[in-house]
Chain A
Amino acid sequence: MNLLAIDTSNQTMGVAVLRENQISGEIMTNIKKNHSIRLMPAVEELMREISMTPEELNKIVVAKGPGSYTGVRIGLTTAKTMAWALNIPVVGVSSLETLTYQAQFFPGYICPFFDARRGRVFAGIYQWDRNKPVPVFEEANMPMEDLLNKLVEEQKDVLFLSPDIGLHKEMIKEKLGVLAQIPEEVYHLARPSHLALAGMTRKAEETHLLEPNYLRLAEAEANWLKQKKENGQNG
């Protein structure tokens, strides 16, 4: 299988290509630069380097979030449109799940997370079972404090993975003490080749129906629902 993997859901931008299920190449950057400008040129460059034409692709895998709303949309739009145009399947993989591949030999809980501002995080708890990550809890958008309290109750070793680890390191150590494992920086960045592996065997979704995994309503929609609920209670 020839597969293209795309990740623009967070600050790292990644593109990887598998040829006959083998990794042919990947491009990854971790810089504050515009994904919209750089994604397609990166795909084009990588495909040219490995001498593969778009028609040779059999599948596309995309990191569907959570992460930056705009970043997730850039990746999803690109992946869905390419898949539709080439008439090949597209698979969306959670951006949190992709991170767990950095810790697939860790026996305890793995907690990938992204900062969601105001003390909140987009987070999941996974555990590797032989060759695949299994979610222990459903991914959620929650206060970091709540997440850590939950983990304290579990009393298990937890490995944290996040490009935003610096923002939450102190609180993690304070709450979990020796149960918390925080690896070196390189492990906190999602790699596109891991995304490719994650999506390789996964069943494709209907291209038109593939949606971002925002893990959060748009603010206007949340307010509207709240208003509607209040009005419902009053009337």
Chain B
Amino acid sequence: MESEPLMLAFCCHYCAYAAADLAGSMRLQYPSNVRVLRLPCTGKLEVNYLMTAFEHGIDGVIVAGCLEGGCHFLEGNLRARKRVERAKKLLAEIGLEPERVEMFNLSSAEGIRFAEIVTEMSQRVARLGPSPLRPDHETVHRNIQQMTDQAEAALRGAKHDCCRSQECA
């Protein structure tokens, strides 16, 4: 657990998120250490999202948007690529490896490609080693426990509609 990289995947609703869903339907195997976050478009991604993720000790980040020319909002994926490039420059200035974040393009039909991307990035980040900003093992577990407790509390609250809540949807 301690040496397993912690990964985030910012996925576009129209392609990569559907591809991840397809990968699941196809029973494809890929590393379980990636947490998928859905965006309405990768154009929603801000450099701050990436910086905050690394500040909290994430080891690697995947940004997965539509194929170039295929963005539902015309050029959100092209903007995301530029923001990823900017984040790479900032990481280099900070002293973290820019390879820890990467932009990928795929379509919603590419479940196999999604599994490949996660595997490829997971291997790359494992080679780089854990982020030097990663909290110690106990803190990671404490954070996970807190998140689990919050999720369970939310589920117990009958009035709280998780699917509609901005915080937990």
* A, B from the same assembly: no
Interface residues of B (CB under 8 A from A): none
A residues near B (Cβ < 8 Å) are: none
